Amino acid sequence: MGEAPALFVDYLQNGCGLKSNCCQTATVIGSKRYLIGKTVGESTMSIDVRIFDECRREWVIPTVLGKKPEQCNGHSAVSLNGDRILIIRKDSLPADSIWILEVDSKYVRDQKKVLETEVVAWSKGVIGDTEKPIVISGPSGVGKGTLISMLMKEFPSMFGFSVSHTTRAPRGMEQNGVHYHFTERIVMEKDIKDGKFLEFASVHGNLYGTSIEAVEAVADAGKRCILDIDVQGARSVRASSLEATFIFICPPSMEELEKRLRSRGTEAEEQVLKRLRNAEAEIEQGKSPGIFDHFLYNDNLEECYKNLKKLLGLDGTTAPTHRPSAKVVDLPLNHTVLKADNKILIAGSENASKNLIVLDVSLLIGGAPWRTRGLHIFEVDSSSDCLNEIIQLS
């Protein structure tokens, strides 16, 4: 076993691994060969995918879901777990160099049943982990927005707010992209149909929804995402693949809620009564088992905020979870890769450095239609015992 590193390094440095200067790669999974890359004669800006079915001896053009990576000057392709293909792009920024093509994941299998055709799905690879998002729900006027504002003001570097989309008109000083993404109904309906929304609902005659990209953008910034959505939306999120903490904010009484709604002075009597009817229905739905993990009663704002912080481990009795920023490692523009179980070894083809880059794919989380997170990357000296240990453990 002590000679293993030398064999691996020699194999890589002599270019015997999977090279990154290919315009196309062919990866075999089961009875299918996945051809990934630029097709000769085509001018599309994204990476193309074609499948050759060995059993039927024919080419298949799959339905490709998710945002596609842009074309590059070459890439490496490595099969992972028999259900996805890891793509390492050449000539790319570190944040855009790793992508996952899912070919037989649960999400892809489900979409095949719905669409009744061959399906593959792209998911962007992200270095590092992220905290579970927080879903905060409750009837209009219960104080959700105030509690969220207090949380973000006290912990600005820890939390980020998912900005929802809506088809309603802006109110007062509301700004597009800050309070909501204001959009046309026809545009939002198309995006919903295209699967770009985590949840959506019709509330008081207007569409509201949370896009997948809005949640991912917060996580990409290294923050824990907070979603302010109604019970109908929370139910949709609970049924999705997103793992989150669900909190329902309750009013002390319907009388107090009515008082708060009327004190706003922004809506007509008919609208206030409509909100009260909807609030009663939401509170009843919120009590349904299996949706919410925690219930907080907002009788006193400061006390409710104190209890919210306690739930999130921010009251001083429990040290908050801190996830260090992912280390940025520049991948060599020209490289060779070799898979050793759940480790991907990457060596620069034109680099005199003895260091190898190790990409650990053992703790992947997420996946299409979301980003794929949990990738870990580090450098090792190819002549050190550390590489030996990595290979022995693989």
Q: What are phi and psi of 136, to 5 degrees?
A: -115, 125
CA distances from 383 to 2, 10, 149, 345, 392 (A): 11, 11, 52, 14, 15
Residue length of the chain: 394
| Pairing, β 119-127 against β 63-65 | parallel
Dihedral in degrees, nearest 10, Cα atoms 235, 239, 245, 246: 10
Known catalytic membership, residue 238 = no
Residue with tokens 């996580």: 219
In this structure, what token pair is assigned to residue 136?
């905060």
Query: What is the Cα–Cα distance from 133 to 367, expressed in whole angstroms?
Result: 16
Which of 56, 264, 277, 323 is catalytic? The answer is 264
Handedness of CA 204, 206, 210, 212 (dihedral sign): positive
Do 292 and 136 meet the contact criterion of CB atoms below 8 Å apart? no
Known catalytic membership, residue 371 = no
Query: What is the Cα–Cα distance from 316 to 319, expressed in whole angstroms?
Result: 7
The helix or strand, by DSSP H or E, that contains position 16, with its residue range, turns out to be none
Which of 84, 275, 371, 373 is catalytic? The answer is 275
Which of 56, 109, 171, 323 is catalytic? The answer is 171
Known catalytic membership, residue 275 = yes
Does residue 194 sit in helix, strand or coil? coil
Do 196 and 212 meet the contact criterion of CB atoms below 8 Å apart? yes
The helix or strand, by DSSP H or E, that contains position 119, with its residue range, turns out to be strand 119-127
* Contact partners, residue 46, CB within 8 Å, separation at least 6: 68, 69, 70, 71
Q: List residues with catalytic annotation.
A: 171, 264, 275
